[in-house]
């Protein structure tokens, strides 16, 4: 059975559209250089990201009211710096400044052009755990055009909670089955499918710097190579 044409495509952003690991590491490297720190900045990117899911889980499980991801990132930076033995090197204002690294992430080579082509097929938005504030700045930095910024701020809850996908579709005035969630992560797409959305997958083998392609662990509705290929599938 052919996949029905979605009326909107909503994207995971960190990893799927932009290279968070390289962007965070490059910003960390600037801060390291200014402080004479001789350490691998990719280790900070990885340590910071390791705190990502636990930080959001407290909100998802109702142990904490919703706060935008920027605040969770800032708290997680404290944990990451302590883990790496760098607590002494960063005062609070410098941590606040470094926290903006998440707004300065390079797009993958196909992202900007692919998203633009995909706009011919339907609405193109985010369904990210990043806040509107973060996504707006990142879109400017990475040259991305979104019809709407949806996701965690829309739902006041974090993916993979089903409400995050459903609220994003509802904000567009669409049924879940009219919207395709696009991501390179199996767990994100599995949750979106469970919430009733269509699913679009492609791999990002460089997300973790390994070059190792993480395969899809089931059949998603559309499986392609990248965003340009997704656009081509829908005539863009």
In 10 A of CB 2, how many CB atoms?
5
Instruction: Give the nearest distance from C-beta 137 to a copy of itself in angstroms.
Output: 8
Q: Is 4 exposed, middle or buried (0-12, 13-18, 19+ CB in 10 A)?
A: exposed
Region for 218 from its dihedrals, namely left if φ exceeds 0, alpha if ψ lies in -120 to 50, beta otherwise: beta
d(CA 79, CA 69): 15
Cβ–Cβ under 8 Å, residues 59 and 157: yes
Q: Judged by CB, which is closer to a copy of itself: 46, or 147?
A: 147
Q: How many residues bind a copy of itself (CB under 8 A)?
A: 24
* Per-position x/- string for 166-195, each x denoting binding to a copy of itself as judged by CB under 8 A, each - no binding: -----xxxx---------------------
**What 3-state DSSP class applies to 108?**
coil
Q: Is 149 in the site for a copy of itself (CB under 8 A)?
A: yes
Of the candidates 94, 91, 98, the one whose C-alpha atom is nearest the C-alpha of residue 26 is 98
Q: Does 67 bind a copy of itself (CB under 8 A)?
A: no
Please, what is the minimum distance in Å from the beta carbon of residue 153 to a copy of itself? 6
Residue 43 binds a copy of itself (CB under 8 A): no
- 139, 155, 184, 197: which one binds a copy of itself (CB under 8 A): 139
Min CB(174)–a copy of itself separation in Å: 8
The residues that touch a copy of itself, with contacts defined as CB under 8 A, are 68, 70, 123, 125, 131-137, 139-140, 145, 147-150, 153-154, 171-174
């Amino acid at each position: 059975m052919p996949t029905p044409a979605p009326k909107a495509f909503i994207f995971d952003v960190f990893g799927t559209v932009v290279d968070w690991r390289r962007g965070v590491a490059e910003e960390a490297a600037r801060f390291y250089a200014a402080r004479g720190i001789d350490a691998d900045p990719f280790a900070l990117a990885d340590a910071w990201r390791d705190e990502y899911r636990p930080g959001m889980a407290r909100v998802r499980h109702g142990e904490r009211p919703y706060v935008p991801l920027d605040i969770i990132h800032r708290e997680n930076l404290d944990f990451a710096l302590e883990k790496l033995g760098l607590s002494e090197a960063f005062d609070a204002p410098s941590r606040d400044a470094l926290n903006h690294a998440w707004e300065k992430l390079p797009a993958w080579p196909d992202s900007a052009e692919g998203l633009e082509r995909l706009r011919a097929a339907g609405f193109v938005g985010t369904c990210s755990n990043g806040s509107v504030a973060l996504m707006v700045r990142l879109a400017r930095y990475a040259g991305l055009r979104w019809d709407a910024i949806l996701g965690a701020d829309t739902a006041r809850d974090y993916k993979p909670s089903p409400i995050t996908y459903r609220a994003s579709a509802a904000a567009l005035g669409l049924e879940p089955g009219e919207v395709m969630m696009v991501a390179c992560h199996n767990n994100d797409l599995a949750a979106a499918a469970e919430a009733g959305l269509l699913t679009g997958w492609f791999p990002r083998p460089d997300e973790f710097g390994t070059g190792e392609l993480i395969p899809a662990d089931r059949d998603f509705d559309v499986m392609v190579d990248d965003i340009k290929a997704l656009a081509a599938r829908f005539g863009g």
